[in-house]
Structure 1
Amino acid sequence: MLTESGSFSILFPRPEEVRCRELPETVWHDLGLDVIVEKLAHQPQEVQLIRRVMTHLTDDPAVSAWRCDVFADILNHPEIRERMMKLLEQVKTFYDYGIVNRGTGDESGLWDLMHRLEEYRSYVITIEALHECLADQDLVSEGLRNLYGSIDRIYRENGFAALKKDVEEMHSSASELKSVTVGINLNDRFEAVSLGLISVNRKPFTQSGILKNFIRSVSPKDQLQPEADWDGRTSFYPANPQAGFLAGAGRAVETAAVLRNPVAAMTLARVPDADGTAGVTRQMDSAASMLASRIVRRLKDLLGKYLNISVKAIADLIPELVYYTRWAEYIEKRRAEGWIFCKPEVLPAEAGGAGMQAEGFYNLKLISALRPGQVTPNTLGFDREKRIYILTGANRGGKTTITQAAGQLFLLAQGGIFVPAERFSFSPADLVLTHFPADEDQTMDLGRLGEECRRFREIYGLCSGHSLLLLNETFSTTSFEEGYFIAVDAVKAMLERGCRVIYNTHMHKLAADLDSINSPRCPSRAVSLVAETVEGQNSFRVRIAPPEGKSFARSIAEKYGVTYESLTALQP
């Protein structure tokens, strides 16, 4: 989508109309997405980029549907993402290190104009390549079709053809500049005190790379040149090809001094990098512009006609394309290993009722530990009536894994990414909030229970009927009686708010007492969800059922021989 500001976007159909809410920092970690994204990103900056996109939520169904369609196209056309990434990365490199990093001062000198010319040249190349890349593809998404439409309009405009012609001609003329000759004056301490541009040349200097030749020419006193006039020789001896010119020259002079007098190494003062010598290009710009005045005038005339052209509009696509591409690469690999992913179905706002239906879903974190056949998929749904699940079950029965997985589904789907499930339909959440056990150092002031209560009140104040709340052993850090008392009121309040909730807990009584907790005057209901066991073994499957409670405890006691009968039968 071409925005009002002239930028392209494949994340938002109308970026200027979207209002996002940022998730609390703890949510990303609580859902285990930090570990997953670190594996799929290629560099640390991409981790932050992906996190930023996925933790800024909008509950607009149109945005989620738009993203899901764009991602489907990018996932199904690997050749598009590969070509676009290579092309746009070149543009991004120039944008980062070229025109955008100019110094302050006169911005119409030779160097700035040349950068601007190169920017336009990159713009022309990119538009042509994007047009070719997207032209013959069977694109389904409105996002990529709109992108192609915008590129096609630019490509066919008369102004683009004129820009291309002018840039090619001017680039050919400007390419005649091959080198500059610089003079540097030194003081008694071998410090660079001034510099000047001697000439702009059509030929490059030949590179010798023999540092000792330079040192030899300045070390013996009888070989010092009596005059500072340039004699026309074009041999060039860089002190350090990787460093800036002045930095290399400074080190070469230092080396010469040390060879003649090692004591000089203790007292030699070198001009620091921050003294302005790093701006050598800026200092020479006006002189170069005068020496190349004909080219400068032509550049100014040419570039003045295209002030509204900027490679930034294209470069801004890079973060969005990186986001989609990294997830596409990840899911492509996982599918090849046998893992199931599906395209989310976005429910219209009026029909969804803040609902969700997930069939055959699983937690992404299991991929790194298990094979596809070892994972137990689950099914769960929210509708206008079922709003809260009180999830109980045995230790290590998968309660936290299921709770995390529900949050992962929403963040992935609202980011447009295919989800780990056989089928997933949902109404987008305005917020996904978590209440997981806090670290010890966060409970020093208020104590564990006080900290839990403070955090719960905070997230409850943020949520609405479109939010998803995920509670992991909330209010379990105190006695059962105290925790149960607080939990009952919390569940009643969440029912009044109408938000979607999964509350996993060891308080089986809370799930058993839902008939008294649910209110006839409130359409929202809390439902008991059980991580079931089969013959005393965890099945890792959840189902709507009364809590197992004492029956499960009895089977565990019998398994390990700690029933009254088993214990009293033991002989001393």
Structure 2
Amino acid sequence: MADISLLYPKGKEVSTMTLTEESINDLSVDYIVESLTKDIYEKNSIKKILTNLTCDIDVINYRADVFEDILNFPELRDGLVELLKKLEDLRELEKFNKDGDASSLWQLINRLREIDGYVLCITMLKNILNTIPIKSQGLLDLKQTIEDIYNNGGFDILKKDIDETMAKAQNLKSVTIGVNLDSVLKPKNAGVISLNNFEITNSGILKNFMGFTGSKEELNSDEKVLSSHKLHPANPSLTRMKFGSAQQGANTNVHIDTSGSATGDDPLSQSLKKVVTDILKRMVKSIKATLQKYVNISGYSLVGLMPEIIFYIRFAELVDKMKEKNLPVCKPLAVPDDRVAYGEDIYNIKLAIKRTKGEEFDIIGNDITFDDEQRIYVMTGPNRGGKTTFTQAVGHCFLLAQAGIYVPATKFNYSPVDNIYTHFPADENDTVDLGRLGEESKRLSDIFKVATDKSLLLLNESLATTNVAEGVFIAKDVIKAMAYLGVRSVFNTHMHELAHHLDEYNSDDSYRSKVQSLVTGMKDGHRSFKCEIAPPQGVSYAKDIAEKYGVTYDQIKKNIDNR
């Protein structure tokens, strides 16, 4: 089981690049993950997978096929959800078994429960995968592995042994402990009187104690009852106990919980733990003899599938909700071509999440092309015209696609990126030492130290200082550097001048990426949120807005004259 993964094909070396904290924040990864689940373990699992980017096409396509199976077969998803509950039990058991203070008896019982859980999970997986026409290599490999285990001649023997041994262990319901008291009724030592196949049902210890001492005739004077049992000294800390507390009494009954709950940590329980373990030697020996045959069997190997199953299921649930809202989604196609991408009707998944939560608004899809004619876009447009939303959407498409998840688009074919670097406005608190321009320049420098021609760079209002001339000067060099390196990029900015120098950027034959102007438009005085390749419109946006609100000179003059 250790070699089975739903994220990586057999024999594939695990190789990923981790998103920077800036990229995680700028792409709103935490917001996306929060929308999928509220469980801390699940959130951490999903985020870890999502932010460790692979650009291996075989791995990406392997994941995409697994996700498609889980998305297309709700009954498969339902079965895996039930399996997750059993795997969660194993995960909790694994944490308990790491407790160094647990006695050998408890470790043995939980080892028995572990193998029992392993048998149950193997059986569940077999039943789940055999009833559904799965197609992905990942799930087919898992199915074959489970079949091999289940059909192995030793598996039936394992099930039989575990069933019998578990029944034997679970038949123990209670242990009766005898406690010797000193003259002031403090426990001196203790021994086990009997092992019982029934649960103790008598009422409180103090009432029990007082009942036995109610008359002299009811006191037991037979000393032989403990003659064959080893007595263990009481814990010295018991001298600090209050009389009548639940930790002391005569003929104390201790119930051994085989459900996995930890034993009591009170002083008397701790001192009696060894007593119980010693007296159960024959039972322990029997369990050990059974389990020693299965030293290489571990239910925890199955637990390793939990994060992967959770990852696919939670995203499948989100995609289902997006479909219910008639939002387009598609299976992305990873291609080996060099530094390309063709996306149709892409949109920001954050908008989709808001729609699935009941918010009503229109979502406008846009196309994007990265190829030899355009790999870097200088994007301009009005404030609140969708520039940042679009820039994020491009990053989301690559991020989800390379994780194997359907993307918010009608089509997305792409060659993978080796990482996504973002440069969004910094928190004002982070710019105290260097100033905003200095801080932003340093972050850009750090990006260029690690980015390659396979990287995606997303710049959002970068270098937007109060001194426009300074910002334009540095930004032009940044665009040239990106073109020389050969990256794919969207640089949205209010500095329209940057988009007026396409000839300067594209005339140098040493540059490996060509630069194009992309604008978000206005229609009838309203923001259309549609992007198109066009020269920057500059003051035309202001003209549209002025006409919409009636503040052009001609409109104002006319109103004055009419008064």
Q: TM-score range by the shorter chain?
A: 0.7 to 0.9
Match of 2:302 in 1: 314
**Structure 2 counterpart of 1:303, from 269, 279, 291:** 291
Q: Which moved more, 1:68-77 or 1:289-298?
A: 289-298
**Structure 2 counterpart of 1:175, from 163, 170, 173:** 170
Q: Distance in 2 between matches of 1:550 and 1:184?
A: 93
Q: Distance in 1 between matches of 2:460 and 2:124?
A: 50
Specify whether residues 568 and 8 from structure 1 end up closer, same or farther in structure 2 by C-alpha distance, changes over 3 A only.
same
Report if aligned partners of 1:179, 1:205 keep a CA contact under 8 Å in 2.
Answer: yes
1:144 aligns with 2:136: no
1:253 aligns with 2:247: no
1:11-56 deviation per Cα after TM superposition (whole angstroms, max 9, x unaligned)? 1114761211111112222122322321221313322221111111
**Structure 1 counterpart of 2:514, from 504, 525, 549:** 525
Q: Report the alpha carbon displacement of residue 322 of structure 1 after superposing the two structures with TM.
A: 0.8
**Structure 2 counterpart of 1:114, from 106, 109, 112:** 109
Q: Distance in 1 between matches of 2:544 and 2:383?
A: 14
Helix, strand or coil for the counterpart of 2:405?
coil
Match of 1:236 in 2: none
Letter in 1 for 2:305: L
Match of 2:436 in 1: 448
Q: Distance in 2 between matches of 1:455 and 1:141?
A: 41
Q: Distance in 2 between matches of 1:424 and 1:9?
A: 26
Specify whether residues 484 and 503 from structure 1 end up closer, same or farther in structure 2 by C-alpha distance, changes over 3 A only.
same
Q: Report the alpha carbon displacement of residue 524 of structure 1 after superposing the two structures with TM.
A: 1.6
Q: Report the alpha carbon displacement of residue 542 of structure 1 after superposing the two structures with TM.
A: 0.3
1:550-571 deviation per Cα after TM superposition (whole angstroms, max 9, x unaligned)? 3333333344455455667758
Match of 2:256 in 1: none
Match of 1:365 in 2: 350
Match of 1:395 in 2: 383
1:172-196 deviation per Cα after TM superposition (whole angstroms, max 9, x unaligned)? 33333221234567899998x7774
Report if aligned partners of 1:342, 1:419 keep a CA contact under 8 Å in 2.
Answer: yes
1:204 aligns with 2:193: no
Report if aligned partners of 2:90, 2:300 keep a CA contact under 8 Å in 1.
Answer: no
Q: Distance in 2 between matches of 1:224 and 1:255?
A: 22
1:124 aligns with 2:119: yes
Give matches, 1:472-551, under 5 Å: 472-521=460-509, 522-551=511-540
1:412 aligns with 2:403: no
Helix, strand or coil for the counterpart of 2:458?
strand
Q: Report the alpha carbon displacement of residue 301 of structure 1 after superposing the two structures with TM.
A: 2.0
Using structure 2 for the length normalisation, give the TM-score. Answer: 0.85
Q: Distance in 1 between matches of 2:172 and 2:299?
A: 24
Report if aligned partners of 2:546, 2:552 keep a CA contact under 8 Å in 1.
Answer: yes
1:439-495 deviation per Cα after TM superposition (whole angstroms, max 9, x unaligned)? 111111111111111111112222111111110000112311111100010000001
Give matches, 1:81-480, under 5 Å: 81-97=77-93, 100-104=96-100, 109-183=104-178, 196-199=190-193, 201-208=195-202, 213=207, 253-254=244-245, 277=265, 287-348=275-336, 352-369=337-354, 374-480=362-468
**Structure 2 counterpart of 1:18, from 14, 20, 33:** 14
Letter in 2 for 1:470: L
Q: Distance in 2 between matches of 1:252 and 1:427?
A: 75
Mark the runs of 5 or more structure 2 residues left unpaired by the alignment. 227-236, 249-263
Specify whether residues 299 and 212 from structure 1 end up closer, same or farther in structure 2 by C-alpha distance, changes over 3 A only.
closer
Q: Distance in 2 between matches of 1:354 and 1:222?
A: 94
Specify whether residues 376 and 252 from structure 1 end up closer, same or farther in structure 2 by C-alpha distance, changes over 3 A only.
farther
Q: Distance in 2 between matches of 1:280 and 1:126?
A: 38
Q: Report the alpha carbon displacement of residue 128 of structure 1 after superposing the two structures with TM.
A: 1.4
Q: Distance in 1 between matches of 2:167 and 2:548?
A: 85
Helix, strand or coil for the counterpart of 1:493?
helix
Match of 1:238 in 2: none
Q: Distance in 2 between matches of 1:423 and 1:313?
A: 38
Specify whether residues 38 and 369 from structure 1 end up closer, same or farther in structure 2 by C-alpha distance, changes over 3 A only.
closer
CA RMSD of aligned residues (A): 3.5
Report if aligned partners of 1:177, 1:200 keep a CA contact under 8 Å in 2.
Answer: no
Specify whether residues 231 and 470 from structure 1 end up closer, same or farther in structure 2 by C-alpha distance, changes over 3 A only.
same
Q: Report the alpha carbon displacement of residue 212 of structure 1 after superposing the two structures with TM.
A: 7.0
Q: Distance in 1 between matches of 2:215 and 2:521?
A: 92
Specify whether residues 104 and 374 from structure 1 end up closer, same or farther in structure 2 by C-alpha distance, changes over 3 A only.
closer
Specify whether residues 474 and 313 from structure 1 end up closer, same or farther in structure 2 by C-alpha distance, changes over 3 A only.
same
Q: Distance in 1 between matches of 2:523 and 2:473?
A: 31
Report if aligned partners of 1:99, 1:112 keep a CA contact under 8 Å in 2.
Answer: no
Letter in 2 for 1:318: M
Q: Distance in 2 between matches of 1:160 and 1:252?
A: 53
Report if aligned partners of 1:73, 1:140 keep a CA contact under 8 Å in 2.
Answer: yes
Q: Distance in 1 between matches of 2:309 and 2:191?
A: 43
Report if aligned partners of 1:338, 1:372 keep a CA contact under 8 Å in 2.
Answer: no
Q: Distance in 2 between matches of 1:424 and 1:296?
A: 60
Helix, strand or coil for the counterpart of 2:408?
coil
1:151-208 deviation per Cα after TM superposition (whole angstroms, max 9, x unaligned)? 11111112222212222232233333221234567899998x7774514523223334
Match of 1:557 in 2: 546
Specify whether residues 35 and 117 from structure 1 end up closer, same or farther in structure 2 by C-alpha distance, changes over 3 A only.
same
Report if aligned partners of 1:361, 1:378 keep a CA contact under 8 Å in 2.
Answer: yes
1:64 aligns with 2:52: no
Q: Which moved more, 1:489-498 or 1:512-521?
A: 512-521
Report if aligned partners of 1:492, 1:518 keep a CA contact under 8 Å in 2.
Answer: no
1:211-254 deviation per Cα after TM superposition (whole angstroms, max 9, x unaligned)? 7735866999999979897989xxxxxxxxxxxxx99x978835
Letter in 2 for 1:534: K
Report if aligned partners of 1:388, 1:503 keep a CA contact under 8 Å in 2.
Answer: yes
Letter in 1 for 2:377: Y
Specify whether residues 300 and 562 from structure 1 end up closer, same or farther in structure 2 by C-alpha distance, changes over 3 A only.
same
Report if aligned partners of 1:177, 1:202 keep a CA contact under 8 Å in 2.
Answer: yes
Q: Distance in 1 between matches of 2:8 and 2:34?
A: 25
Q: Report the alpha carbon displacement of residue 91 of structure 1 after superposing the two structures with TM.
A: 3.0
Helix, strand or coil for the counterpart of 2:244?
helix
Report if aligned partners of 1:71, 1:324 keep a CA contact under 8 Å in 2.
Answer: yes
Q: Distance in 2 between matches of 1:99 and 1:353?
A: 46
Q: Distance in 2 between matches of 1:552 and 1:17?
A: 52
Match of 2:73 in 1: 77
Using structure 1 for the length normalisation, give the TM-score. Answer: 0.84
Q: Report the alpha carbon displacement of residue 302 of structure 1 after superposing the two structures with TM.
A: 1.9
Letter in 2 for 1:549: G
Specify whether residues 153 and 367 from structure 1 end up closer, same or farther in structure 2 by C-alpha distance, changes over 3 A only.
same
Letter in 2 for 1:308: N
Match of 1:32 in 2: 28
Report if aligned partners of 1:139, 1:145 keep a CA contact under 8 Å in 2.
Answer: yes
Identity %: 38
Q: Distance in 1 between matches of 2:82 and 2:464?
A: 52
Q: Report the alpha carbon displacement of residue 105 of structure 1 after superposing the two structures with TM.
A: 6.9
Q: Report the alpha carbon displacement of residue 549 of structure 1 after superposing the two structures with TM.
A: 1.1
Letter in 1 for 2:462: T
1:257-302 deviation per Cα after TM superposition (whole angstroms, max 9, x unaligned)? 9xxxxxxxxxxxxxxxxxx946988865654444333332222222
Helix, strand or coil for the counterpart of 2:479?
helix
Q: Report the alpha carbon displacement of residue 102 of structure 1 after superposing the two structures with TM.
A: 4.6
